[in-house]
A and B are shown apart, each in its own frame.
Chain A
Amino acid sequence: MLNPVSELPGCAPSETVTLLYRPAKGKGALSCWLALPSNMPADATPIVAVHGIRRGAKQQAEALAPRAAALGRPVIAPLFDKVNWPKYQQVVRGQRADLALLELMTELRLTGTWRTRNFELCGYSGGAQFAHRFAMLYPQLVTRLTVSSAGWYTFLDDAAFPYGLNERPGKTNDWGPRFAAGLDQFLRIPVQVCIGEEDCVSDDNTRQGPEIDAQQGRDRLTRARRWSAAFCKAASERGLTPRITLSVMPGCGHDFQDCVQYGGLDRLILPDGVATALEQSSLYSQQQEDGEAVKQI
């Protein structure tokens, strides 16, 4: 059963939202935080918001709750705890985080939290790593993807997995080709890459090394730009029109609350009307001379 925790302030009287904690149901299952608007149409597309390595699932649900209320859409924030999910960002490394999320979504469908066939997916930092990799594995499930402040990415190139989509040397039946299999469909997803303007210095949590630095750059801002460009390049090579936006949030570093408060991350994740957002993202995805699709806001 769901455990009501609080009714959030900050919403208009007609836009109330309830924040709920749902415990995990069984071994290997995920708990989650839910933000459920009081006025939610049956066809409301949920937004699944994945936390970073600080495991701020509640923070994700709280931050997106006012926008969810305004739009009448449920927020589902799964919790990958530190003990059981130390590598959830990489999705298929160790215990399978993708399967855990699929199971959670199945359970939430049974309880009526969502009824659509697909959902939107967003993630912050480590959650952004998870989000883009999950969407590569299951592009048919994700109608819109927001990747915020990821430390590093799986690039859409022939580098060895997990940096790229090739098999690792000496490995057979590796995950790279499985991620690559759905690339055509993945590249059709409207994608928004968000990054703080000041998130341009590497820290202790930024994966470093000659290989990744050469491929992706040394800091999150550079890596976001390069991955966005790689997305555009991969789409163009397949004759697809990339629908990707790179949003650089002014005055923001690597802090989720700052990104919401000052960078408008909640509005980027949940804009007014998805259709409008898609149209905008199409406009933004023009490749610049340096090959990067950049629209800074």
Chain B
Amino acid sequence: MTVLTPIALNTLDQAKWAFSTRRVAREDAVGLLDMLSYATSGDLVLGRVECIGSHKKIQLAQGRASELYIGDLVVLACGDRYAPDQFEGLAELDPQGADMLAGGGVLGRMRHRHAKMSAPTRITPLGLLANAAGKAVNLADYALEKVTRPEGLRVVGVVGASMNSGKTTAVAGLAHGLSRAGYQVAAIKATGTGAFGDFNAFVDTGARYVADFTDAGMVSTYRQPLARIEAGLDTLLAHAKRDGCDVAVVELADGVFQKETADLLKKPHVRDGFAGMVFAAPDALAAAGGCAALRAMGIEPAAVTGMVSCSPLGAAEAEAATGVQVVTRSALCDPAQANALVAQMLAKQGAHALELSEIGVAA
């Protein structure tokens, strides 16, 4: 039997609400449900910090980081996380204690962690936040209105070899360069884990519209149904178009072998919606492998960027190995060069209808 406990007035005002919860109308949360084992991705959890581990700070909904103290009340979203450099975990809550999987506000059960990572910060779940109807408050309830993909919006994709390969820097650079060139630009993160780092980096570019998958109601896209992720991307693009944007720069998280990213790229509706694709790589070898993987998916990369572009020798190796131009961050920020890159993509769009194959791509 589910027990709904009313929340004392002002209790939630004392809690630290994570960035992933930023769209939620806090006044809707009037009670606590004890059905923790039934929690699903996106459900909001009121918890208490029991032990400070890897994450020593929480990213607040207000857009700043807050130091965590033992005993802090926090509101996080139950969710999965896929981060090869940090944690992999599932949207499962143990009443005895759950793992803070991401500083942006993802709570679940850690399965794997990178060797450099210490144990996750432990949170004791006090209950799921419930609304007046007695249902768990879920991020999906506060998502943007679902809309189909718009016509007439030029979309540039940015994918990479892995986490920290330079994708966000590339999106930010290109969004900034295109904004300076007079475009109304949307900077969008379509997959990944809810966190304000990338979101804020996009805001800083001067882009007209910034959004991520949390705006489409997902705390994380890991293990989400492909149709939901795809619909989320379409919704974000549609809202960008409604807001007056004429170009969107879209980041797909992690590497092209990550399941959701690979599955998305293999979908014709998604793949063909991109005017072009920029690949971020740490080095020439990753550039060669990544470009080959993209080509196997029927995508001809328009440019390579990322850490490899910082090294003239690395860039030369990458260009020789891939036949694709390597562009630096400063080139992406340059309005003339950003403009030219997008124009080249538009000119080539449709000219590279490669056969889809599964070679080298995670199923």
Contacts and interface: CB of A to CB of B under 8 A. Distances in A.
Interface stretch (A135-143, A212-220, A265-273, A278-286): A135-143
A138 B181 contact: yes
Contacts of A181: 339-341, 343-344, 347
B313 to A, nearest CB: 14
Contacts of B184: 117
A264 interface: no
Interface in A144-183: 173, 177-179, 181-182
Given A92-B336, A99-B335, A141 B347 contact: no
A96 to B, nearest CB: 8
Given A178-B336, A181-B347, A141 B341 contact: no
Interface string A6-28: 00000000000000000000000
A87 to B, nearest CB: 16
11 contacts: A98-B336, A99-B335, A117-B182, A137-B336, A138-B335, A140-B181, A140-B183, A141-B181, A178-B336, A178-B340, A179-B340
A185 B343 contact: yes
B337 A178 contact: yes
Contacts of A117: 182, 184
A118 B182 CA distance: 8
Interface string B328-363: 000000111101110110110000000000000000
A245 B343 CA distance: 25
Contacts of B343: 181-182, 184-185
Contacts of A177: 340
A96 B337 CA distance: 12
A90 to B, nearest CB: 13
Interface string B173-191: 0000000111110000000
Contacts of A184: 343, 346-347
A42 interface: no
Contacts of A99: 180, 334-336
Given A138-B335, A181-B347, A102 B340 contact: no
Q: Give the size range of A's interface with the partner.
A: 20 to 34
Nearest to B181: A138
A138 B339 contact: yes
Contacts of B325: 173
Contacts of B336: 92, 96, 98-99, 137-138, 178
Given A181-B343, A182-B343, A102 B335 contact: yes
A106 B179 CA distance: 11
Contacts of B183: 140
Contacts, number: 49
B173 to A, nearest CB: 15
Nearest to A182: B343
Interface string A182-220: 101100000000000000000000000000000000000
The 9 closest A-B pairs by CB, nearest first: A181-B340, A181-B343, A178-B340, A182-B343, A141-B182, A181-B344, A137-B336, A98-B336, A102-B180
A144 to B, nearest CB: 15
Nearest to B316: A172
A196 B25 CA distance: 68
A98 B183 CA distance: 15
Contacts of A141: 181-182
Contacts of A178: 336-337, 340
Contact of A140 (B182, B334, B337, B347): B182
Contacts of B334: 99
A290 B184 CA distance: 42
B181 A102 contact: yes
Interface string B33-74: 000000000000000000000000000000000000000000
Which has the most chain B C-beta neighbours within 10 Å: A106, A118, A178, A185? A178
Nearest to A178: B340
A106 B336 CA distance: 15
A30 B58 CA distance: 45
B361 to A, nearest CB: 30
Contact of A138 (B182, B344, B346, B347): B182
A117 B247 CA distance: 14
A96 B343 CA distance: 20
A95 to B, nearest CB: 14
Given A102-B181, A178-B340, A181-B340, 18 more contacts: A98-B335, A98-B336, A99-B180, A99-B335, A102-B182, A102-B335, A137-B336, A137-B339, A138-B339, A140-B181, A140-B182, A140-B339, A177-B340, A178-B337, A181-B339, A182-B340, A182-B343, A184-B346
A92 to B, nearest CB: 7
Contacts of B181: 102, 138, 140-141
B196 to A, nearest CB: 27
A34 to B, nearest CB: 20
A141 B339 CA distance: 11
A145 to B, nearest CB: 15
Interface string A85-108: 000000010001011001000100
Contacts of B344: 181
A116 to B, nearest CB: 11
A193 B340 CA distance: 25
Contacts of B337: 178
Nearest to A105: B182
Contacts of B339: 137-138, 140, 181-182
Contacts of A98: 335-336
A178 B337 CA distance: 7
A106 B183 CA distance: 12
